[in-house]
């Protein structure tokens, strides 16, 4: 069981800290990861303390992808080489307890599977490089596309780890919460209609959102979520795009191995073949292969 190093920013009631640590200790005790010695747990009283901390840490680490932190309940990264989970207590207020618990275990799952720097300093998949050569407008967005794609793949791996260790109810609640289309998703999509590269970015972002849901719907013989639920969360997209996205994610999940970098490389190829090529060459049509 790893040592949990807890840091508090702002006023964190002891009982809140205590219940988070107890949940994480149960989790690490159940999974017994071999090579995880230390996990940093950073607790924030509110989102603005969290945001200030996160952007200064991003600067220090030289992280170049855009900030997408608003979309997360809690986050995990390993920019310093040590897995670090950041949690803002303000986010807990609006969430059902199961979603909150599911999110904490989800981030702890990342610390086991993706707790070192190599999972955060990723090489650009060949297919995405090639897409950048074919569609120059995509080039300024490739880092963000890779970032979101890598989150999708890593979230599938975490969903598989957690469900295979018996965390079902909370992971279903968490997956349902993250896959739901927000008003922001719908607005962003409407705004993106004029720029194919913005559409590509929106779609990869949605891949991340449905990653856990797809895994719970297709990852085992006994689905924990109905695939139609995942489909409904993409209901604002036209049918071709929705099917293209679902088929791509099902294929990523079907071939998901245990080498994260290889999984990302493969997902990059599927993303380009099934979605990016079509969106970039004909913004209004997608023809999934
Ligand atoms: Zn995640």
Q: pLDDT digits over 86-112, tens only? A: 999 999 998 999 999 999 999 999 999
| Ligand 1 center from residue 108 Cα (angstroms) | 9
Which H or E run includes 90? helix 89-92
Question: Crossing angle for the helix pair 142-164 and 169-179, nearest 10 degrees?
Answer: 160
SS3 content of the chain, % helix, strand, coil (to 5): 65, 10, 25
DSSP 86-149: EEEHHHHTTS-HHHHHHHHHHHHHHHHHS-SGGGTSPPPPHHHHHHHHH-GGGGGGHHHHHHHH
Judged against a pLDDT cut of 50, whether residue 131 lies above it is answered with yes
Q: Residue for token digits 């002891």? A: 14
Tens of pLDDT along 232-268? 999 999 999 999 999 999 999 999 999 999 999 999 9
Sheet of 3-9, strand order = 3-9, 38-44, 84-88, 74-77
Average pLDDT over residues 169-192: 94
The residue that leads in pLDDT, 73 or 258, is 258
Local structure of 260: helix, strand or coil: helix
Q: Closest Cα partner for 161 from 36, 270, 28?
A: 28
Say if residues 56 and 49 touch (Cβ distance below 8 Å). Answer: no
Question: For the chain, how big is the Rg over CA atoms in Å?
Answer: 18
What length does the chain have?
Answer: 289
Q: What is the pLDDT of residue 68?
A: 63
Which pLDDT band holds residue 284 (cuts at 50, 70, 90)? low
Mean pLDDT across 110-132:
96
User: What is the 246 CA–ligand 1 centroid distance (Å)?
Assistant: 19
Going from the Cα of 134 to the center of ligand 1, the distance in angstroms, rounded, reads 30
Rounded distance, CA 100 to CA 208, Å?
A: 18
What Cα–Cα distance (Å) separates residue 203 from each residue in 61, 176, 212?
Answer: 27, 18, 16
Query: What token pair was written down for 262?
Result: 């290889």
* Unique residue bearing structure tokens 């407008």: 137
**At residue 226, does pLDDT exceed 80?**
yes
Dihedral of alpha carbons 144, 43, 16, 105, sign: positive
Query: Which tokens go with 197?
Result: 């590269």
User: Taking 50 as the threshold, does the pLDDT of residue 285 lie above it?
Assistant: no
pLDDT value of residue 133: 97
Query: With the C-alpha atoms ordered 54, 56, 62, 65, is the resulting torsion angle positive or negative?
Result: positive
Query: In this predicted model, which residue has the larger pLDDT, 166 or 289?
Result: 166
In the reported structure, the alpha carbon of residue 160 is separated from the centroid of ligand 1 by a whole-number distance in angstroms of 12
Distance 150 CA to ligand 1 centre (A): 10
Ligand 1 centre distance from Cα of residue 239 (Å): 27
pLDDT of amino acid 100 = 97
Q: CA 126, 132, 134: angle at the middle one, nearest 5?
A: 105
pLDDT reported for residue 39: 98
The answer on pLDDT for 69 being more than 90 is: no
Placement of tokens 């969290």 in the chain: 50
Which regions of 228-285 does DSSP assign to beta strands (E)? Answer: none
Interval between CA 212 and ligand 1 midpoint (Å): 9
Q: At what angle do helices 126-134 and 142-164 cross, to 10 degrees?
A: 150
Q: Which pLDDT value is given to residue 219?
A: 80
Res. 206: pLDDT tops 80: yes
**Average pLDDT score, the chain:** 93
Residues 217 and 230: their CA atoms lie apart, in Å, by: 8
Confidence grade of residue 162 (pLDDT, cut at 50, 70, 90): very high
Question: Mean pLDDT over residues 109-130, rounded?
Answer: 96
Cα-to-centroid distance, 209 and ligand 1 (Å): 9
User: Could you tell me which of 112, 101, 150 has the C-alpha nearest to residue 252?
Assistant: 150
Give pLDDT, residue 289: 38
pLDDT band at 287 (very low <50, low <70, confident <90, very high): very low
**What is the distance in A from the centroid of ligand 1 to the CA of 274?**
23
C-alpha–C-alpha distance, residues 109 and 103, integer Å: 10
Which tens digit of pLDDT belongs to each residue from 37-59? 999 999 999 999 999 898 888 88
């Amino acid at each position: 069981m790893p040592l949990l190093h807890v840091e508090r920013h702002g006023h964190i009631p002891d009982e809140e800290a205590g219940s988070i640590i107890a949940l994480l200790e149960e989790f690490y005790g159940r999974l017994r990861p071999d090579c995880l010695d230390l996990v940093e747990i950073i607790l924030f009283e509110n989102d603005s303390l969290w945001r200030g901390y996160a952007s200064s840490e991003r600067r220090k680490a030289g992280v170049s992808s855009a900030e997408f932190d608003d979309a997360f309940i809690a986050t995990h990264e390993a920019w310093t080489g040590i897995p670090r989970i950041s949690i803002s207590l303000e986010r807990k207020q609006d969430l059902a307890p199961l979603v909150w618990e599911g999110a904490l275990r989800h981030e702890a799952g990342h610390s086991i599977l993706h707790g070192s720097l190599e999972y955060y300093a990723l090489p650009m998949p060949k297919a995405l490089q090639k897409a950048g050569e074919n569609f120059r407008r995509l080039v300024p967005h490739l880092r963000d596309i890779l970032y979101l794609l890598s989150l999708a793949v890593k979230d599938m791996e975490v969903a598989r780890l957690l469900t295979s260790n018996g965390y079902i109810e909370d992971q279903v609640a968490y997956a349902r919460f993250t896959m739901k289309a927000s008003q922001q998703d719908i607005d962003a999509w409407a705004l993106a209609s004029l720029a194919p590269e913005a559409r590509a970015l929106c779609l990869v972002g949605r891949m991340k959102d449905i990653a856990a849901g797809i895994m719970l719907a297709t990852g085992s013989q006994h689905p924990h979520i109905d695939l139609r639920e995942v489909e409904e969360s993409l209901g604002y997209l036209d049918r071709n795009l929705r099917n293209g996205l679902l088929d791509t994610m099902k294929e990523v999940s079907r071939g998901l191995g245990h080498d994260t970098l290889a999984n990302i490389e493969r997902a990059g190829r599927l993303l380009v073949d099934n979605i990016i090529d079509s969106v970039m060459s004909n913004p209004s049509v997608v023809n999934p292969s």
